[in-house]
Amino acid sequence: MTWIRRDITLRARPRGFHLITDEIADAAPELRDIEIGLAHLFIRHTSASLTLNENASPDVRRDFETWFNAAVPAQFAGWTHTFEGPDDMPAHIKASLLGPSLTLPVTRGRFDLGTWQGVYLCEHRDAGGPRSLTLTLQGEAV
């Protein structure tokens, strides 16, 4: 059994939902050495999150952003945590709804995802900056 831990820094992105599947795989060449196992992704932030969804149509990512902005509006009179800006508290709520981690199967050196699945970085701040992930791989080496 092999265990590998890799810290990954994702470049800053604008608010929205961004496909990062290939970026994560490229940042962890050790992934190619795992015949069968699991990959655990954890984002170390409270105003961004991870999710797994449609990887083909950019409309899906835009619709995610539209729905979350309507469900958790920045202009809500009830926010009391406001000193970091009007997008901060909504970002915390959105991040809690989606969550900070994913566990993905690994088969023959690749994430074993469905045909239309991809990993999203869900950036909930207007200017969140670079984001840090921890990737932990566990499995049988090739």
Q: Is pLDDT at 142 greater than 90 in this prediction?
A: no
Domains of the chain: total: 1
Residue 116 tokens read as: 């239309």
Q: Identify the CATH number of the domain in which residue 20 sits.
A: 2.60.120.460
Domain that holds residue 71: 2-141
**pLDDT tens digits for range 106-126:** 999 999 999 999 999 999 999
Determine the angle formed by the axes of helices 88-98 and 58-71, rounding to 10 degrees.
Answer: 120
Higher pLDDT among residues 40 and 82, named by residue: 40
How many Å apart are CA 142 and CA 134, to the nearest integer?
Answer: 23
The number of beta carbons lying within 10 Å of the beta carbon of residue 119 is 24
Global pTM reads 0.95
